[in-house]
Amino acid sequence: MGINFHPRAGTLLMCDFRGAVPPEINKRRPVVVITPRLANRDQLAMVVPTSTTEPRSMQPFHVRLLKNYHPNEPDDLPVWAKCDLVSSVSFARLDRFHVGHRRFEAPMISADDLASIRKGVLAALGLVD
């Protein structure tokens, strides 16, 4: 459906990546918004996808979150931010989590987890030693 608001950095949303070209991510996946509202970037957000599948080979751009923020899953379910898959996406691809009859949520992650994800993105881009 798409969102009609600009999400704050640290907001967890669902992103529909369908229609991407392989080997790009190509399904619905929870994502963390990593940038604040930026000038001349209406209807776009930078996001990092998350996954409950542990990476086969841990790298500096794989960030284990302190908890699972997905409102329909247990808090203690392990989840990783896949910072090497950072993307700029249209708000039309983003949606809140459906949590009940006509009820939707867009949880916020902790400041510590957001800082760790941003460091992971820098590592994925080769911008740290």
Q: Would the pLDDT of 37 be above 80?
A: yes
For residue 111, give the DSSP letter: H
Residue 94 burial by CB count (10 A; 0-12/13-18/19+): exposed, middle or buried? Answer: buried
Q: Would you place residue 128 in the very low, low, confident or very high pLDDT band (cuts 50, 70, 90)? A: confident
Which token pair is 84? 């090497």
Rounded CA-CA distance 90/15 in Å is 9
Q: Is the dihedral of CA 17, 19, 23, 28 positive or negative?
A: positive
What are the tens digits of pLDDT across the range 55-75?
999 999 999 999 999 999 999
In a domain, 1, yes or no: no
In a domain, 3, yes or no: no
In a domain, 2, yes or no: no
Mean of pLDDT values over 24-49: 94
**Which structural domain range is residue 100 located in?**
11-125
Which pTM was predicted?
Answer: 0.95
In a domain, 42, yes or no: yes
Q: Would you place residue 38 in the very low, low, confident or very high pLDDT band (cuts 50, 70, 90)? A: confident
Which token pair is 68? 């699972």
CATH code at 115?
2.30.30.110
In a domain, 115, yes or no: yes
Give me the number of domains the chain comprises.
Answer: 1
In a domain, 116, yes or no: yes
In a domain, 5, yes or no: no
In a domain, 107, yes or no: yes
